[in-house]
Amino acid sequence: MLGADTVVAVEGRILGKPADERQAREFIEALASRTHVVVGGLAVCRDGEQHGAAIATAVTFRNLASTEVDRYVSSGEWRDRAGGYAIQGRGATLVRAVEGDYLNVVGLSVVMLLELVPDLRGVA
């Protein structure tokens, strides 16, 4: 069994999944021109044993004009996304830099999964 989840942290504040469009706008505005941390947690339960780990990736957003924020929020892509954005979609246009594991920001760190379940290495 595999479980994974992600949160976004900026300046001591945790941003989960926005409840509505107003909160999505608030989150994107809070991230604009700043570096935040995306923390991914992963838990594996296999053969009666449980293993878990967390990984952090730094993401820096560009300076965003209010029209860019409006356009992104109106796309609806923020729904069910930690921090209110999806880096693998339109949210990529909000980002200036990523330091660390990009797939962690997408939602599942393959590197972390392979560390927890080493026998998956080489399986393709």
pLDDT digits (tens, 9 = 90+) for 93-105: 999 999 999 999 9
Q: How many domains does the chain have?
A: 1
Token code pair at residue 87: 């880096």
Helix (H) or strand (E) holding 114: helix 110-116
Token code pair at residue 11: 């300046």
Token code pair at residue 26: 């608030």
Catalytic, out of 5, 20, 80, 101 = 5
| Cβ pair 109, 40 in contact under 8 A | yes
Helix (H) or strand (E) holding 39: strand 35-46
Whether 5 sits among the annotated catalytic residues: the reply is yes
**Helix residue ranges per DSSP H, the chain:** 21-31, 66-75, 102-106, 110-116
CATH number at residue 48: 3.90.950.10
Average pLDDT score over the chain: 95
Q: What is the pLDDT of residue 123?
A: 64
Domain of residue 107: give its range. Answer: 2-120
- Cα–Cα separations (whole angstroms), residue 68 to 20, 28, 33, 60: 18, 10, 13, 16
| Stretches in the chain below the pLDDT threshold 70 | 123-124
